[in-house]
Structure 1
Amino acid sequence: MPAKSKSQQKAAGAALAAKRGKIKKSELKGASTGMEKSMSEKELHEMASAKRKGKPEHAAHR
């Protein structure tokens, strides 16, 4: 499941870093906190590794 926006991708990257132990979980803010708890390392990697070119900064709410 690729990220729909740059901000979602950044949050997934932060959550992935915390899951791998590169940063403390207490340093996470906002959506990355929930992502770290609810998503697997594979899912976070897929979301964070997609290309950013052409993505909006924030996803539109639906």
Structure 2
Amino acid sequence: MPAKSKAQQMAAGAALAAKRGETSKSELRGASKSMEKSMSEKQLEELASTKRKGKPEHVDRR
């Protein structure tokens, strides 16, 4: 499942780093905090590895 926006890709990267122990979980905020709790490392890897080129900064929630 590729990321739909740059913001989602960056949040997944932050959550993945926390899940791997590279950063502190207490540093996470917002979407990255909930992603870290609810997604597996493999799912986070898929989102974080998405190419940013051509992606919008944010996507409307509809």
**Gapped runs of 5+ residues in structure 1?**
none
How many residues are aligned here? 62
Taking the TM superposition and a 5 Å limit, the aligned residue runs for 1:1-62 are 1-62=1-62
Relative to the length of structure 2, the TM-score reads 0.97
Separation of aligned partners in 1, 2:50 and 2:9: 8
Query: CA RMSD for the aligned pairs?
Result: 0.5
Give the superposition deviation at 1:61: 1.6
Give, in whole Å, the separation in 2 of the partners of 1:59 and 1:39. 20
TM-score (norm 1): 0.97
Give the unaligned 5+ runs of structure 2. none
